[in-house]
Amino acid sequence: MEAIIQIKNLCKTYSNGTEALKGISLEIQSGQFFALLGPNGAGKSTLVKIITTLISKDSGEFYIQGSNTETNSLKIQKIIGVASQENEIDPAETVENLMVFQGRLFGMSKKEAIERAGWLIEAFGLTNVKSQKAGILSGGNKRRLHCALALVHNPKILFLDEPTVGMDPVARSEFWKIIKGLNIKGVTVFLTTQYLEEVDKHASAMSLISEGQILYSGTISNFKTMVNGGNNSSLEESYLQYLEIISKQ
Amino acid sequence: MKIENLLLIQRGVLKLIKQPSAPLMGFGMSLFFLLVYNAGIGGIGSMEVFGKGGYLSFVFPIVIISLAMGSSAGAGQTLNADMQSGYFRRLYLSPVPRWILVASPIIADTLSSLFFTIILITIGAVSGVVFQFGIFSVFGVLLLSLLWALTLCSFSAGIMLRTGQHQTAAIITNSVFPLLFLSTTFLPRELITAEWLLYASWGNPVTYILEGNRYLLGGTSTAGFFYTGLLILSFATICSLSFALASAKKIKI
């Protein structure tokens, strides 16, 4: 497997003096289901925002599929899909129009965009509300639409930042089925979440970030072994135990 | 132009059609001015100083200028709505140049302003406004309107992007409004008696836009005013567009 995301010594300090990232280095392999874990304020969202070209870094380098993000941001935006923490939907537009428009913005023909939107609307269980304005959808449906929009252009890398917040269990299960299906087809998934059971169930590799530094990078099974010697514990138990150990040091 | 850029401009236009409060407010204000000024002071139109076009042709440029002033907040409001809903971030992540995200609502707003200018010109022509160079006068008035609308919309969008508050999009209207009255708005220079107002009108860029329009309409002004007005507006357009596009970098995502 080749590295699809390469990050070297990435640093970011906000204008208020908060040092969000302190020399992060990370490699994510193509087709991997990767999870970035860490407590609130650890630097997860900052890292995702930099990788997805939303904000700029102070120093360091990072490449997506070999392309430098500073010189090739448009190329990178074409291959990534982002579903961030907050919903990013135009409340005045209908579900169908938003999906088609998103596809068109990514260079799809009208026919392609309509077909792709139709498939995603069905896959995400939005068929009954496709003609409704996004602003009047239920919280769960807004979240489904938000995630579906990130997939319209068939991204090679999918960034999911707390994607299932606000979804009911059925929607959550359906959502993971779609994401797993995409991952099996070769889409790299970069997930940040506080629902560790979802990570345990779906991801294969993880990194743990705290106070802007990577504390662990590797497989989930190795992490569990490292923390409690291979006992059959959940990721959540291992994670909490590890944070406790770190806080005592 | 790339299809994605055109789609964003089309979206901006559709937004204005669906939420037409800003352009309609500008249009309403212009119509009101046209009716009230002509009805209230139109009687002095027979004076020689107003030329063959009468008072209606003399006062018509105010109507055109106030249109863009009343509707210039539209671009800022569209941008603000997208930022509030988070949709701007999604657009920001699309593979389109980021300048077009700011430019598209400005262009849409300017197009809307031009559309309503054409309606006003039609109303004016039917009501008896004189266009001394025929169709060339119409094009000249449209050119001045285009640059004026572009200037105001860009400033309004730039200010909103920097402050993040939609209320500030109207700042430009409020600051330009007094300039309308420090000019040869209601009477030609020859009839203005207060010396301070005469001096103020010389330094007021709005005067050159007004008089430039008057040259094209009733011919009560000289070509020099038209060219000076064109120059001032071209410079102002470049400054305000640069300001708006530079403001895009200040957006907090």
> Which domain CATH number covers A131?
3.40.50.300
Return d(Cα A79, Cα A81) in angstroms, integer.
Answer: 7
For residue B167, pLDDT beyond 90: no
pLDDT tens-place string over residues A141-183: 998 899 999 999 999 999 998 888 878 888 888 889 889 988 9
Give me the pLDDT at residue A114, please: 96
Return d(Cα B185, Cα A144) in angstroms, integer.
Answer: 56
* CA distance readout (Å), A171 to A39, A64, A168, A175: 25, 31, 5, 6
Which of A52, A75, A105 is opposite residue B4, by nearest beta carbon? Answer: A105
**Residues 6 or more apart in contact with residue A86 via CB below 8 angstroms:** B86, B89
Set of chain B residues whose Cβ sits within 8 Å of the Cβ of A102: 90, 94
Closest Cα in chain B, distance from residue A89 (Å): 5
Give me the pLDDT at residue B249, please: 75
C-beta pairs of B204-209 under 8 Å, 24+ apart in sequence: B204/B179, B205/B179, B205/B229, B205/B232, B205/B236, B206/B65, B206/B176, B206/B179, B206/B180, B206/B182, B207/B183, B208/B232, B209/B61, B209/B65, B209/B144, B209/B148, B209/B233
For residue B172, pLDDT beyond 80: no
**Inter-chain contacts counted by CB atoms under 8 A, chains A and B:** 59
For residue B43, pLDDT beyond 70: no
pLDDT tens-place string over residues B67-101: 888 777 778 888 888 988 999 999 999 999 888 99
State the average pLDDT for chain A. 90
Closest Cα in chain B, distance from residue A126 (Å): 19
Return d(Cα A140, Cα A142) in angstroms, integer.
Answer: 5
Return d(Cα A242, Cα A226) in angstroms, integer.
Answer: 9
ipTM: 0.87
For residue B140, pLDDT beyond 90: yes
B90 to A91: CB separation less than 8 angstroms, yes or no: no
Which residue do the tokens 């799809």 mark? Answer: A108
State the average pLDDT for chain B. 86
Question: What is the extent of the structural domain holding A242?
Answer: 3-247
Q: What is the pTM of this model?
A: 0.85
B contact test, residue of A90, A95, A101, A149 with most B CBs within 10 A:
A90
Which of B4, B19, B86 is opposite residue A88, by nearest beta carbon? Answer: B86
| Widest Cα–Cα separation across chain B | 61
Give me the pLDDT at residue A136, please: 95
Set of chain B residues whose Cβ sits within 8 Å of the Cβ of A49: 253
Return d(Cα A41, Cα A43) in angstroms, integer.
Answer: 6
For chain B, percent of residues with pLDDT exceeding 90: 38
- Minimal CA–CA distance to A150: which of A218, A217, A56, A85? A85
B7 to A105: CB separation less than 8 angstroms, yes or no: yes
Q: In what order do the strands lie in the sheet with A188-192?
A: A80-83, A157-161, A188-192, A33-37, A205-210, A213-219
Angle made by CA atoms A112, A116, A120, in degrees to the nearest 5: 170
Q: In what order do the strands lie in the sheet with A67-68?
A: A19-29, A3-13, A59-64, A67-68
Count of domains forming chain A: 1
Stretches in chain A below the pLDDT threshold 50: none
Dihedral sign for Cα A145, A191, A41, A63, please: negative
Q: Scanning every residue of chain A, which has its alpha carbon at the shortest distance from the alpha carbon of B86? A: A88
Return d(Cα A180, Cα A177) in angstroms, integer.
Answer: 5
Return d(Cα B34, Cα B30) in angstroms, integer.
Answer: 6
Name the pLDDT band for B49 (thresholds 50, 70, 90). low
Return d(Cα B92, Cα B252) in angstroms, integer.
Answer: 11
A75 to B7: CB separation less than 8 angstroms, yes or no: no
Name the pLDDT band for B46 (thresholds 50, 70, 90). low
C-beta pairs of B3-8 under 8 Å, 24+ apart in sequence: B3/A104, B3/A107, B4/A104, B4/A105, B4/A107, B4/B94, B4/B95, B4/B96, B4/B100, B5/B96, B5/B97, B5/B100, B5/B104, B7/A101, B7/A104, B7/A105, B8/A105, B8/B91, B8/B96, B8/B100, B8/B101, B8/B104
